[in-house]
């Protein structure tokens, strides 16, 4: 099994040049399937994990639950793993710094921190506090023995807390505060993504959802995107399959959806391949 220190270094190096896709598993089985398909790294998904607990996304999973889940994903494959740790599980910068330290103890090679308050409506933190929180996270990451990729998220566009100009202002400040990767999720179009990439000197993460789901990896790479994540998109596809197959079975008496399922033999082989890391 690849050592954690090797995974941390590999994950850091992936962000230094080129462009790569980091799939988001929600349990050990999906992590191993994604590894078997050739993923270079994995990222947890707060929404996908919350779904497995029967809960909605955004503030309904505790820090202990998220970190225990992260440990399971780390243990599932030899790949580096970064964590979707929502807002760092606390408003105070010290809470965010502690989350970074605990993330490393869980084996994570990086994490993302949002500028979103986990209260009704999910408003954004005030600019100064948002910046202080990322600064505290970056300082905690620099104190670790091996590289830790800190991704700072400006989520105001998703949550309708602010517009594009404020998102740019924030990621520029986050980069100056020490974030290694910058991320404005769910941009409305390619032009907005190009604006984000051109506005900063740090690597940019793009979410393959919404308008960007119609774009290819080579196109995003050509724009200067360094990392592409999929968030809860694959988990949502899985839940759609559950919904559609169950409705057809119960409401129409049809089992036709089962024809497209993967065979147990194929799944078993991929789980074994994903666990040992052999490509």
Residue 168 confidence (pLDDT): 98
Question: What is the sign, positive or negative, of the torsion defined by CA atoms of 27, 31, 32, 33?
Answer: positive
Name the percent of the chain lying above pLDDT 90: 93
Superfamily of domain 4-276: Phosphoenolpyruvate-binding domains (3.20.20.60)
pLDDT tens per residue, range 146-172: 999 999 999 999 999 999 999 999 999
Cβ-Cβ contacts under 8 Å for 220 (sequence gap 6 or more)? 19, 193, 206, 212, 228
Q: What is the pTM of this model?
A: 0.95
Domain ranges of the chain: 4-276
pLDDT tens per residue, range 37-96: 999 999 999 999 999 999 988 778 999 999 999 999 999 999 999 999 999 999 999 999
Residue 57 confidence (pLDDT): 83
State yes or no: pLDDT of 179 exceeds 70. Answer: yes
* C-alpha closest to that of 167 among 157, 178, 177: 157
Residue 171 confidence (pLDDT): 98
Residue 224 confidence (pLDDT): 97
Residue 138 confidence (pLDDT): 98
**Residue 51 to residues 12, 22, 85, 222: CA-CA distances in angstroms?**
29, 20, 15, 34
């Amino acid at each position: 099994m690849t050592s954690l220190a090797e995974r941390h270094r590999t994950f850091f190096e992936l962000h230094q040049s080129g462009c790569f896709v980091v799939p988001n598993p929600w349990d050990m089985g999906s992590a191993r399937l994604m590894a078997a398909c050739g993923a270079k790294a994995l990222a947890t998904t707060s929404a996908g994990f919350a779904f497995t607990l029967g809960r909605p996304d955004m503030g309904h999973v505790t820090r202990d639950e998220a970190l225990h889940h992260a440990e399971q994903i780390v243990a599932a494959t030899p790949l580096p793993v970064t964590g979707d740790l929502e807002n760092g599980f606390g408003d105070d910068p010290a809470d965010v710094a502690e989350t970074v330290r605990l993330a490393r103890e869980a084996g994570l090679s990086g994490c993302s921190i949002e500028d979103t308050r986990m209260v009704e409506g999910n408003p954004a933190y005030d600019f100064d506090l948002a910046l202080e929180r990322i600064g505290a996270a970056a300082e905690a990451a620099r104190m670790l023995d091996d590289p830790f990729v800190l991704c700072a998220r400006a989520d105001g566009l998703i949550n309708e807390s602010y517009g594009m100009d404020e998102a740019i202002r924030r990621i520029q400040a986050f980069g100056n505060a020490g974030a290694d990767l910058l991320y404005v999720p769910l941009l409305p179009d390619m032009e907005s993504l190009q604006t984000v990439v051109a506005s900063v000197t740090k690597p940019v993460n793009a979410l393959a959802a919404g308008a960007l789901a119609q774009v290819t990896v080579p196109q995003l790479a050509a724009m200067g995107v360094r990392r592409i994540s999929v968030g809860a998109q694959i988990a949502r596809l899985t839940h759609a399959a559950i919904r559609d197959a169950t409705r057809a079975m119960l409401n129409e008496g049809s089992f036709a959806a089962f024809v497209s399922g993967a065979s147990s033999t194929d799944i078993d082989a991929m789980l074994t391949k994903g666990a040992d890391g052999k490509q």
